Structure 1
């Protein structure tokens, strides 16, 4: 295993391992590197669904997306995300968000496996929300500490590529999470931002909430890692410490990824105020 930290405590590339058989001390070391650096990029992988799930399942309880209608033809725990999907193609850009922020216990880690990569665009960008919080000026910290934000399953701005069904929306409703949360394992605090789904901050009006959110996004944009995909890359990120987005890419160029994720243990799943 060869590890290279790409930015200051943010994003580590790990070469020379096969995720489908990774276990024991090597798995523990890879998990430690990932958690410390928030994102881990594993290169040169060749995984079928079983291999991808075997790796994911060794890290935690498997995640199944609440929207069953966007899953692929394989196991429920594997999402197929393709620009070639005739019904709901993945295309264009995707705004900043944190996965499943609109659920009571958001997924801890997301794992994305790049198989077919467009020639132009389609990069995935990650913002370090631990560093963002640490560098906030005092006046902004006063606005976010001990404050909760409301998250909605209905996406802001551009609608979902395959909209949620009414019964799925009814099951979720709106939910409040701390705007600053404590990491479940590390002695760290991080902003918890998911602009795609945040509708209100504390008791602020919608206008004031949007203004504060925009100011926080500006600060977060100072701590960004942009990943240019290569086929065989697997990226794992910690949703308690980062938010992410996708750059636009031409609809004529194919892009295909598989996605899995894992939860925290049940007793740690609900976000905790820092």
Structure 2
């Protein structure tokens, strides 16, 4: 059966059918999936029955494993984390603000894979915002204010001991491990060229971005907030509805994402891996691929 790619009809995203991810993939299949991933930025593979071995094998077709700080892996695995929430959990929703995974790293992960195991009957969509489209539609005056600028990224707001998931975060089912390492900073260009396609887009947003190089906070912070409102506009979005047995992969170099709630009283469990950046690649560095 041939792979079929069905676009979502929204600002990004497509469904991939006609492939069994419990089986090894041919080089041609991997190339077709990568091409669709680069084109649509978010791919959904419904109707899969994956174990963690399958999830890890699929991830490695597209690069090495990314480094996932601050969240412990599940027992017996080094690279799989559980994104979970109990039916009775009252802690604030995990990852409900727009972000690109681990953008505070020197080489953030190129992609993320997330597999649905226990999916509530209502709510829980994951929303994506296409950052190529956001930049292309950006008013010239706003773009002029960020052209050539580098943003300062940090995990401190979330994962420092004083952060959202720090010492005062109680009753959460996810195994989050905050620490002082979250206070570190890393600068990346606000406007980046995708390392594989060369397309320009916006990288990162408020949450992990805490400042802008060579700009005082009185000027930088309002600009960061203004950018956030622009980046998440409805016309740039794709809202993904989950099913059990569905694998989702997205390109952190092209989209922001955020979790949504609306499933109180229901358990939710997904397993996640990240795909490492290509050797030598970092946000803003474009190298053509053979």
Shared topology, TM-score over 0.5?
A: yes
Q: Which residue of 2 aligns with 1:261?
A: 274
Q: Residues 55 and 89 of structure 1: is their aligned pair in 2 closer, same or farther, counting only changes over 3 Å?
A: farther
Provide the TM-score with structure 1 as the length reference: 0.90
2:86 aligns with 84
In the alignment, which residue of structure 2 is the partner of 1:218? 229
Report the equivalent of 1:175.
186
CA contact (8 A) 1:93 1:248 kept: no
> What is the CA distance between 1:263 and its match in structure 2?
1.2
Task: Give the secondary structure class of the aligned counterpart of 2:132.
Answer: helix
How far off its partner does 1:17 sit?
1.1
SS in 1 for 2:112: strand
Q: TM-score when scaled to structure 2?
A: 0.85
Contact between 1:82 and 1:255, CA under 8 Å: does it hold in 2? yes
Do structure 1's residue 252 and structure 2's residue 261 form an aligned pair? no
Q: In structure 1, how many angstroms separate the alpha carbons of the residues matched to 2:209 and 2:252? A: 15
Select the residue among 193, 196, 207 that pairs with 2:207. 196
1:242 maps to which of 255, 261, 264: 255
Q: Which one of the candidate residues 148, 154, 164 is aligned to 2:178?
A: 164
* Structure 2, unpaired ranges of 5+: 166-171
Q: Give matches, 1:1-274, under 5 Å.
A: 1-7=3-9, 10-21=12-23, 22-67=25-70, 69-84=71-86, 91=93, 94-155=96-157, 159-160=164-165, 162-166=176-180, 168-169=181-182, 173-220=184-231, 221=233, 222-268=235-281, 270-272=282-284
Q: Distance in 1 between matches of 2:164 and 2:237?
A: 25
Give the Cα separation in 2 of the matches to 1:87 and 1:75: 25
CA gap 1:89/1:115 in 2 versus in 1, 3 angstroms:
farther
Provide structure 1 residue ranges, at least 5 long, that are not aligned to the other structure.
none
Shift of residue 102, structure 1, vs aligned partner: 0.9
Q: 1:247 to 1:256 in 2, by over 3 A?
A: same
